[in-house]
């Protein structure tokens, strides 16, 4: 369990051999990151005058944590910023620019069936779309809203949350051109020993111009001959969960999602198989190896039951749940493993105590205390530490489930109190209790150099534009230059086992960011808003945030309507009018228009800079 997969993501196949060996040696190493006087990788790192190692000064954990009775951090603010992070990851033609430093991208992203694959979310620092983690983050973003709807509505993040889900499900719909054909991967991470996507360190907006080997975003398909029940199952789960959210406000879209979900689910069941077994998906196996697929089938069936109330789906879910081929997913909740999520969901649906018992077995691994059977270590300052790669996300994933389960048990239940207490400890550690924040642009000492390419090299500020990508990569990895734009809301990988940390891009095991890190984290924050009482939180807005509009190369910011209190400093919105909205002049259209104006907007009226327009023209003329 665990130790074969260190892949919160994938950034590592860097351009030089030393990085590859760094990866091999780091894989099983939970020790502190290498320091600047030690054996650093990369030409600029051996510099004894710079030691970015940080040992946070938060109090040591004594083994007895008592959660504050009132919220210590503004969880509503973190949710708002977390959704901003999803904007930074958007691929395709943007209906409006939320961030001055991100624009349209994925210009050559049409699949073999003529389908438009430009939408959805990029993975981590890169521009890959890997089917399993992408499907999971969409399911989880929907799960969050489903789990704590009142909290999201009260802090005015509900519509933003729907928009984030829909940006994903619109892509999944397009990725499903025929019943038993589904896009399992978009993009090429490497060809032989040459990094393609991973070796590209510029902005997504200019990918087609500068990517190594000139290889465009190619689609790899899941088919009956080359099946992947984990990708089709997870995508079916995402669409079913999303259909529940859209059922009332956008029934046509919900119905479309449900149809795709049913077909994909049948695909997963009829052609059981894992992408690990397909040479076509060899790189997916390398970076995101799947441990099994039975859990994704059970997961899809559970969400389909919630969406349809059809008993056969519940029956299926339980059948597959009881037939998982390994115990892995009982110990983990992540992009790969859904077992723990199933304990909580099936308990919610059936109230059968067997699922509560199984949930308890999963939670027990994490919980400290007298007579505890905790197996997962805690750092000196109290973080539950599953593994060094993405430690914070494993803790956040676990506590999201704890909070949702606690809500089912009732917050006054004594076991629920234990779960909530631990959840608060973990989330507060992340937000500052250890002596620093691990969320970019939030709190004290938040990270300045996340391993994230477009906030460093943006299409509006890319000093090394046109240079060989191996040089651009060396600069990205090895320079201590801060990321030029604030990647608000991104949850970093986290600390070493001793709580220490290096705020630099070379230590990507710790400083990498991905959508899957943020996914359940966002929901856990909503769980805390729900627990403490949403009346104790104010909606947060973009007021005062630096979204890059002051940059001299930025285009004009969107103009928001008078009654917008989400993107502006306006405070005069009535509660019923708190929704996030489209900028003035941007037409909302497509299936989502009635509830959440978003992805299908046809006009891009908020400008790209003249510069980028001309560069895109150059790019296209180079390509065509
Ligand atoms: C840094 O690394 C060197 C060499 O491995 C080691 O001797 C030194 O103790 C380390 N310093 C810190 C502060 O960890
Ligand atoms: C080492 O750090 C110093 C101080 O910031 C800087 O002037 C120098 O250029 C650095 N050396 C290298 C090789 O990066
Ligand atoms: C969904 O599928 C049903 C049955 O095949 C069909 O009647 C219906 O039109 C479909 N709805 C949408 C929105 O695609
Ligand atoms: C995957 O391949 C292995 C080895 O060839 C085989 O034992 C296994 O049954 C296959 N699994 C699936 C689900 O196809
Ligand atoms: C439930 O599943 C069992 C076997 O797993 C099957 O025999 C039974 O017919 C199913 N019931 C329904 C209602 O689908
Ligand atoms: C249950 O698992 C066994 C062994 O992995 C497999 O042969 C069987 O087909 C599975 N049954 C279902 C319904 O998935
Ligand atoms: C730890 O496990 C033992 C043996 O199964 C059990 O008796 C005990 O209640 C468990 N402790 C907790 C806190 O769950
Ligand atoms: C944009 O701004 C940066 C810094 O202000 C500048 O160095 C750069 O040349 C400008 N132009 C482009 C095309 O990035
Ligand atoms: C870029 O640099 C690498 C490594 O130095 C070299 O192998 C490659 O040929 C260069 N590419 C171009 C287009 O110059
Ligand atoms: C709300 O206030 C802003 C300025 O603070 C103003 O421009 C806007 O017209 C007001 N909107 C409404 C609906 O009153």
Is any ligand 1 atom within 6 A of the Cβ of residue 35?
yes
Ligand nearest to the CA of 370: 7
Radius of gyration of the chain (CA): 23
Q: In the predicted model, is pLDDT for residue 299 greater than 70?
A: yes
Please give the residue that has the higher pLDDT: either 26 or 212. 212
Alpha-carbon gap, residue 572 to 557, rounded angstroms: 21
Alpha-carbon gap, residue 74 to 529, rounded angstroms: 9
| Cα 227 to ligand 3 centroid, rounded to whole Å | 25
| Cα 99 to ligand 9 centroid, rounded to whole Å | 32
Catalytic residues: 503, 512
pLDDT of residue 52: 61
Alpha-carbon gap, residue 440 to 447, rounded angstroms: 5
H/E element, 190 = strand 190-191
Looking at 7-21, 26-40, 396-410, 419-433, which range is the least confident one?
Answer: 7-21
Alpha-carbon gap, residue 295 to 323, rounded angstroms: 9
- Number of Cβ within a 10 Å radius of residue 130: 29
Is any ligand 8 atom within 6 A of the Cβ of residue 552?
yes
Report residue 23's pLDDT band, with 50, 70 and 90 as the boundaries. Answer: very low
Q: What is the 3-state secondary structure (H, E, C) of 486-511?
A: CCCCCEECCCCCCCCEECCCCCHHHH
Q: Residues with Cβ < 8 Å from 216, sequence gap 6 or more?
A: 108, 109, 208, 623
Please give the residue that has the higher pLDDT: either 38 or 534. 534
**Which of 36, 40, 47, 479 maximizes ligand 2 atoms within 8 Å of its Cβ, making it the mutation to test the pocket?**
47
pLDDT of residue 504: 83
* Mean of per-residue pLDDT scores for the chain: 86
pLDDT of residue 41: 39
| Cα 543 to ligand 10 centroid, rounded to whole Å | 14
Q: What is the mean pLDDT of residues 568-572?
A: 92
Q: What percent helix, strand, coil does the chain show, rounded to 5?
A: 45, 5, 50
Q: What is the mean pLDDT of residues 45-61?
A: 67
Q: In the predicted model, is pLDDT for residue 577 greater than 60?
A: no
Ligand nearest to the CA of 415: 7
Ligand nearest to the CA of 279: 4
| Cα 261 to ligand 3 centroid, rounded to whole Å | 12
pLDDT in tens, 550-561: 999 999 999 999
Q: Where are the domains of the chain?
A: 17-623
Q: In the predicted model, is pLDDT for residue 575 greater than 80?
A: no
**Site residues for ligand 9, CB cut-off 6 Å:** 468, 470
Question: What ligand 5 atom has the least distance to the C-alpha of 315?
Answer: 1
Is any ligand 7 atom within 6 A of the Cβ of residue 372?
yes
Looking at 9-23, 172-186, 334-348, which range is the least confident one?
Answer: 9-23
pLDDT of residue 593: 34
Question: What ligand 10 atom has the least distance to the C-alpha of 563?
Answer: 13
pLDDT of residue 585: 76
Strand partners, 502: 53
Q: In the predicted model, is pLDDT for residue 333 greater than 50?
A: yes
pTM for the structure as a whole: 0.88
pLDDT in tens, 346-386: 999 999 999 999 999 999 999 998 889 999 999 999 999 99
Question: What ligand 4 atom has the least distance to the C-alpha of 274?
Answer: 13
Alpha-carbon gap, residue 347 to 327, rounded angstroms: 19
Q: In the predicted model, is pLDDT for residue 432 greater than 50?
A: yes
| Cα 377 to ligand 7 centroid, rounded to whole Å | 17
Is any ligand 1 atom within 6 A of the Cβ of residue 37?
yes
Class at the top of the CATH hierarchy for domain 17-623: mainly alpha
Q: In the predicted model, is pLDDT for residue 624 greater than 80?
A: no
Token pair for residue 324?
């998982």
């Amino acid at each position: 369990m665990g130790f074969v997969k260190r892949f919160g993501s994938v950034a590592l196949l860097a351009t030089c051999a030393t990085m590859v060996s760094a990866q091999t040696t780091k894989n099983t190493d939970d020790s502190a990151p290498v320091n600047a006087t030690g054996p650093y990788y990369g030409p600029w790192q051996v510099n004894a005058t710079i030691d970015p190692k940080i040992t946070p000064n938060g109090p040591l954990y004594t083994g007895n944590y008592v959660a504050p009775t009132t919220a210590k951090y503004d969880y509503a603010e973190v949710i708002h910023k977390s959704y901003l992070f999803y904007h930074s990851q958007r691929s395709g033609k943007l209906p409006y620019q939320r961030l001055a430093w991100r624009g349209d991208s994925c210009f050559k992203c049409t699949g073999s069936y003529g389908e438009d694959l430009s939408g959805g979310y990029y993975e981590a620092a890169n521009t890959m779309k890997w089917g399993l983690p992408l499907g999971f983050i969409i399911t989880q973003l929907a799960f969050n809203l489903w789990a704590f709807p009142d909290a999201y509505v009260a802090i005015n993040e509900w519509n933003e949350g729907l928009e984030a889900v829909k940006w994903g499900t619109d892509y999944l719909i397009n990725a499903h051109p025929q019943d038993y054909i589904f896009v399992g991967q978009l993009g090429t991470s490497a060809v032989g020993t040459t990094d393609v996507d991973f070796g590209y360190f510029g902005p997504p907006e200019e990918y087609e111009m500068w990517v190594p080997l000139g290889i465009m975003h190619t689609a790899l398909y899941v088919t009956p001959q080359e099946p992947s029940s984990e990708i089709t199952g997870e995508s079916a789960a995402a669409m079913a969960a999303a259909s529940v959210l859209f059922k009332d406000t956008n029934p046509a879209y919900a119905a479309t999602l449900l149809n795709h979900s049913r077909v994909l689910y049948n695909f997963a069941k009829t052609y059981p198989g894992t992408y690990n077994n397909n040479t076509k998906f060899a790189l997916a196996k390398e970076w995101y190896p799947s441990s099994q697929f039975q859990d994704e089938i059970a997961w899809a069936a559970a969400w389909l039951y919630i969406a349809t109330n059809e008993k056969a789906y519940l029956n299926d879910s339980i059948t597959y749940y009881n037939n998982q081929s390994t115990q892995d997913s009982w110990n983990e909740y992540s992009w790969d493993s859904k077992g723990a999520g199933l304990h909580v969901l099936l308990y919610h649906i059936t109230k059968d105590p067997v699922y509560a018992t199984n949930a308890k077995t999963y939670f027990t691994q994490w919980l400290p205390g007298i007579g505890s059977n905790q197996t997962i270590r805690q750092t000196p300052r109290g973080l539950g530490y599953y593994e060094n790669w993405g430690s914070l996300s494993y803790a956040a994933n676990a506590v999201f489930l704890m909070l949702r389960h606690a809500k089912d048990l009732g917050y006054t239940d004594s076991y629920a109190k234990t779960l909530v207490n631990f959840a608060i400890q973990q989330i507060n550690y992340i937000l500052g209790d250890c002596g620093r924040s691990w969320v970019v642009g939030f709190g004290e000492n938040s990270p300045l150099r996340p391993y994230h390419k477009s906030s460093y090299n943006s299409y509006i500020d890319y000093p090394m534009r046109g240079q060989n990508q191996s040089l651009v990569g060396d600069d990205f990895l090895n320079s201590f230059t801060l990321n030029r734009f604030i990647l608000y809301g991104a949850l970093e990988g986290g600390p070493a086992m001793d709580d220490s940390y290096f705020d630099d891009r070379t230590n990507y095991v710790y400083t990498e960011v991905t959508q899957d890190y943020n996914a359940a984290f966002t929901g856990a924050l909503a769980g805390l808003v729900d627990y403490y009482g949403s009346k104790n939180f104010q909606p947060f807005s973009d007021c005062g945030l630096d979204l890059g509009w002051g940059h001299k190369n930025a285009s004009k910011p969107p103009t928001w309507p008078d009654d917008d209190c989400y993107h502006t400093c306006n405070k005069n919105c009535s509660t019923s009018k708190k929704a996030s909205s489209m900028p003035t002049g941007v037409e909302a259209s497509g299936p989502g228009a009635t509830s959440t104006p978003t992805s299908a907007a046809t006009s891009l009226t908020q400008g790209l800079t003249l510069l980028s327009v001309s560069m895109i023209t150059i790019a296209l003329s180079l390509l065509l």
